[in-house]
Amino acid sequence: MIRIVTAASLAALHAEVDDAWDLARQSREEVAEQWAARLAVSRELIEERKALTGIARTAIVQAEELSQQAAQLRQAFTAALLVMARQAARIRQLEQAGHNAMACAACEAPVAWQDCPTGGWWHHLDHPGDGHDAIPMPASAMEGGEEA
């Protein structure tokens, strides 16, 4: 069968091909726009992830530093509690032994015991100067102090 192609049918075919090309071009442009938009969103997400990763790393470093500080504070608190317990025990021991009846040799004012991890010392509440050493209070002063 022989088909006779006329100028009108060629023109119609040519128009259909042009329409198909236009549709293909429009589809390519739409796909390119969609991919460009998705690429931009992907880039934004990548940058956001980088920023969040940096923030997370900083938070991890800060958490480690805070953990170390907390450990140091726990050690210091434990040491302070130990010193306090030792001081309380020493105070009870001194009170039981009557060693809280000490006076200054220079001015005869009462003095108190200051405990420390390496020992301790007697001291005035208000330090009057050098040359004030603690001595046991005389029995008469202790009796007079107890009555008052």
Domain count across the chain: 2
Residue 3 lies in a domain: no
User: Please, which residues have CB within 8 angstroms of residue 94's CB and are 6 or more apart in sequence?
Assistant: 100, 113
Residues 33 and 68: their CA atoms lie apart, in Å, by 52
User: What confidence tens digit (pLDDT) does each residue in 74-84 have?
Assistant: 999 999 999 88
CB neighbours of residue 113 within 10 Å: 17
Residue 2 lies in a domain: no
Residue 131 lies in a domain: yes
Tell me the two tokens of residue 48.
């956001």
CB neighbours of residue 103 within 10 Å: 19
Place of tokens 């603690």: 134
**pTM of the full structure:** 0.40
Its domain, for residue 117, covers: 100-148
User: What confidence tens digit (pLDDT) does each residue in 99-133 have?
Assistant: 556 777 777 777 777 777 777 777 776 666 666 66
